[in-house]
C-alpha cells in the first residue's frame, strides 16, 4: 500500500491562509479596542452630562439701583460691528494705523471705557456683530461681550440691522444673549399678570428694566427710573421699495400699557417716614438701534454734537415720537446706526442722542476717533435721604489715547421740565 504525500504547494497555501486569518483577527481586535477607547475617553465624556461641573449662567447683582451717592450711570455702546477678532481688519482708519488695527481695538476700547467710567449698566444698542464678517455668530458674541462679562457689571443689548446676517436669526440671537453671564437682556417682555413671556409682540428684544432708589432712602424698594428696550428690526420692503424696518404698533401698544402701569406706582416700606413731594411720574429712557423718521424730518432744536451723516431710517413713520409724547415719562431715547453722527437734539420736548460709532470694523471717518456715550441719572437730595430722579445728563468720550470727555449736557431737569 502506498500513501500519497500532499503536494508541498498546497501546504504553503494553507499556512498563508492561516496567517491572513490571524492578521485579520488581530486587525479586528485592534479596531474594536480603538473604537472602545475613543468612545470611552473622548466621545462619551463629551456627550454625557457631568452633573458635578454644570456651568450655570452667572447672575448679575439685582435689582438695579442707584448708588449711595445718588447716581446711576449707563455706558452706551453703539455699533461695535464685531467680526472674527484679530483677523478682522479695521475700516476707515489712518494708513499709519491700518496694519495694527483689528476687532481687538474695539475690545480694548470697551475695556478702557468700563475702567474709567465704572458704569452701573452697559447698554449695547445694536449691530453688535457685523454678520457678514462673523463666521460663527456665537463665537463673535462671546468675544464682543467679553469685556462686559469680565467686569461682572449688568449689561443689556438690543439688535441692529446687521446682527442676524451670520449664523443665527434674530430670535436665536436674543435668546443666546439673554443666557450669557451677567446679561439682563430678554427675548420677550413678561406679562405682569400671567408672568409669562409675551410672544405676540413684533420683534425680539422688547423689554424693560427698573432701577430702584438709593439704599436707605424711602424709595429704595421702588422703581424710580424705567429703561425701555425696543427692537427696531432690520430691513423691509414697502411698496416695492427697500427700506429699513420700524417699531411696530404691537410694540408701542405694549409700551403704552407698561408706562401707564408704572405711572404713580411706588411702594413705601416705612410708613413712619414723612413723604416728600413727588413728581407727577418717574422718568424713563428708551434704547433702540434705527433712528425714527422725525429725526430726518425735523425740526430739531438745541443740537449738541456732530451731525455729519444723512439720517438712515425707515420710510414708514409708525408714531414712535407721538407715543413717547403721549406717555410723558420718556425724557430721552438713545440710538445708533448712523456711525458718523454723535449728536443730541430735541424733538417736541423729548431728547434723542446718537451713540456715535464705537467699533473699528464699522464704517467711520479716518482721523475721527471712535467714541462712546455715557448717561447719568442723578437723585435729588432731601433733608435726610435721597429722593427721586432730579436730573439726567450725558457726555461722550473719544478713543484718542486719553479718553477725552466732551459735549457734557443736561437732558432733563425736574425743576425745568415741562
Per-residue pLDDT of 291-349, as tens digits, reads: 999 999 989 999 999 999 999 999 999 999 999 999 999 999 999 999 999 999 999 99
What residue has cell string 420692503? 237
Summarize the confidence of residues 255-282 as an average pLDDT. 64
Summarize the confidence of residues 74-85 as an average pLDDT. 97
Range with lowest mean pLDDT among 46-50, 132-136, 251-255, 358-362: 46-50
Cell of 340: 458718523
Q: CA distances (Å), 333 to each of 97, 284, 394, in order?
A: 34, 9, 12
Summarize the confidence of residues 170-176 as an average pLDDT. 97
Summarize the confidence of residues 213-235 as an average pLDDT. 94
% of the chain with per-residue pLDDT over 90: 76
Query: What per-residue confidence (pLDDT) applies to 300?
Result: 96
Contact assessment for residue 211 and residue 313, using Cβ atoms and an 8 Å cutoff:
no
Per-residue pLDDT at 105 exceeds 50: yes
Separation of alpha carbons 324 and 350, rounded Å? 8
Query: What per-residue confidence (pLDDT) applies to 15?
Result: 72
Per-residue pLDDT at 182 exceeds 60: yes
Cell of 17: 491562509
Per-residue pLDDT at 2 exceeds 70: no
pLDDT in tens, 135-147: 999 999 999 999 9
Separation of alpha carbons 338 and 312, rounded Å? 7
End-to-end Cα separation, the chain, in angstroms: 132
Does 301 or 272 have the greater pLDDT score?
A: 301
Within 8 A by CB and 6+ apart from 168, the residues are 137, 138, 176
Beta pairing, strands 350-354 & 344-347: antiparallel
Summarize the confidence of residues 398-404 as an average pLDDT. 97
Per-residue pLDDT at 57 exceeds 70: yes
% of the chain with per-residue pLDDT over 70: 88
Query: What per-residue confidence (pLDDT) applies to 270?
Result: 43
Using H for helix, E for strand and C for coil, what is the string for the chain? CCCCCCCHHHHHHHHHHHHHHHHHHHHHHHHHHHHHHHHHHHHHHHHCCCCCCCCCCCCCCCCEECCCCCEEEEEEECCCCECCHHHCECCCCCHHHHCCCEHHHHHHHHHHHHHHHCCCEEEEECCCECHHHCCCHHHHHHHHCHHHHHHCCCEEEECCCCHHHCCCCHHHHHHHHHCCCCECCCCCCECCCCCCECCCCCCCCCEEEEEECCCCCCCCCCEEEEEEECCCCCEEEECCEEEECCCCHHHHHHHHHHHHHHCCCCCCCCCCCCCCCCCCCCCEEEECCCCCHHHHHCCCEEEECCECCCCCCCCCCCCHHHHHHHHCCEEEEEECCCCCECCEEEECCEEEEECCCCCCCCCCCCCCCCEEEEEEEEEEECCCCEEEEEEEEEEEEECCCCCCEEEEEEEEECCCCC
pLDDT band at residue 418 under the 50/70/90 scheme: very low
Cell of 309: 451723516
Query: What per-residue confidence (pLDDT) applies to 50?
Result: 55
Q: CA distances (Å), 339 to each of 289, 290, 319, 401, in order?
A: 11, 11, 24, 20
Query: What per-residue confidence (pLDDT) applies to 264?
Result: 56
Mean pLDDT of the chain: 90
Query: What per-residue confidence (pLDDT) applies to 131?
Result: 85
Query: What per-residue confidence (pLDDT) applies to 12?
Result: 66
Which of 279, 253, 250 shows the shortest CA–CA distance to 266?
Answer: 279
Range with lowest mean pLDDT among 37-41, 104-108, 119-123, 210-214: 37-41
Residue 67 CB neighbour total at 10 angstroms: 14
Per-residue pLDDT at 266 exceeds 60: no
Per-residue pLDDT at 267 exceeds 70: no
Amino acid at each position: 500500500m502506498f500513501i500519497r504525500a500532499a503536494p508541498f504547494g498546497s501546504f504553503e497555501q494553507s499556512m498563508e491562509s492561516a496567517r491572513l486569518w490571524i492578521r485579520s483577527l488581530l486587525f479586528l481586535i485592534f479596531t474594536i479596542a480603538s473604537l472602545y477607547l475613543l468612545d470611552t475617553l473622548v466621545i462619551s465624556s463629551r456627550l454625557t452630562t457631568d452633573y458635578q461641573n454644570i456651568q450655570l449662567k452667572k447672575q448679575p447683582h439685582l435689582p438695579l439701583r442707584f448708588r449711595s451717592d445718588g447716581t446711576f450711570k449707563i455706558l452706551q455702546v453703539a455699533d461695535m460691528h464685531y467680526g472674527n477678532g484679530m483677523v478682522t481688519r479695521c475700516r476707515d482708519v489712518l494708513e499709519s494705523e491700518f496694519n495694527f488695527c483689528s476687532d481687538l481695538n474695539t475690545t480694548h476700547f470697551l475695556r478702557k471705557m468700563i475702567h474709567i467710567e465704572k458704569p452701573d449698566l452697559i447698554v449695547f444698542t445694536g449691530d453688535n456683530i457685523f454678520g457678514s464678517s462673523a463666521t460663527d455668530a456665537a463665537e463673535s458674541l462671546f468675544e464682543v461681550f467679553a469685556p462686559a462679562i469680565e467686569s461682572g457689571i449688568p449689561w443689556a443689548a438690543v439688535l441692529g440691522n446687521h446682527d442676524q446676517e451670520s449664523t443665527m436669526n434674530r430670535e436665536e440671537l436674543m435668546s443666546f444673549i439673554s443666557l450669557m453671564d451677567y446679561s439682563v437682556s430678554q427675548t420677550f417682555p413678561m406679562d405682569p399678570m400671567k408672568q409669562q413671556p409675551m410672544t405676540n409682540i413684533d420683534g425680539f428684544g422688547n423689554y424693560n428694566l427698573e432701577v430702584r432708589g438709593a439704599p436707605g432712602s424711602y424709595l429704595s424698594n421702588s422703581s424710580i427710573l424705567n429703561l425701555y428696550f425696543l427692537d427696531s428690526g432690520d430691513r423691509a420692503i414697502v411698496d416695492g421699495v427697500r427700506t429699513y424696518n420700524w417699531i411696530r404698533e404691537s410694540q408701542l401698544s405694549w409700551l403704552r400699557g407698561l408706562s401707564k402701569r408704572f405711572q404713580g406706582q411706588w411702594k413705601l416700606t416705612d410708613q413712619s417716614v414723612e413723604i416728600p413731594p413727588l413728581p407727577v411720574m418717574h422718568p424713563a429712557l428708551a434704547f433702540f438701534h434705527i433712528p425714527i423718521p422725525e429725526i430726518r424730518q425735523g425740526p430739531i432744536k438745541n443740537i449738541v454734537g456732530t451731525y455729519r451723516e444723512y439720517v438712515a431710517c425707515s420710510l414708514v413713520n409708525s408714531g414712535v415720537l407721538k407715543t413717547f409724547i403721549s406717555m410723558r415719562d420718556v425724557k430721552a431715547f438713545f440710538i445708533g446706526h448712523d456711525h458718523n453722527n454723535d449728536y443730541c437734539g430735541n424733538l417736541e420736548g423729548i431728547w434723542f442722542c446718537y451713540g456715535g460709532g464705537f467699533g473699528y470694523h464699522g464704517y467711520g471717518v479716518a482721523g475721527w476717533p471712535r467714541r462712546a456715550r455715557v448717561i447719568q441719572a442723578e437723585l435729588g437730595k432731601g433733608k435726610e435721604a435721597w429722593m427721586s430722579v432730579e436730573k439726567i445728563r450725558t457726555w461722550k468720550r473719544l478713543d484718542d489715547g486719553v479718553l477725552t470727555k466732551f459735549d457734557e449736557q443736561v437732558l432733563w431737569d425736574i425743576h425745568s421740565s415741562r
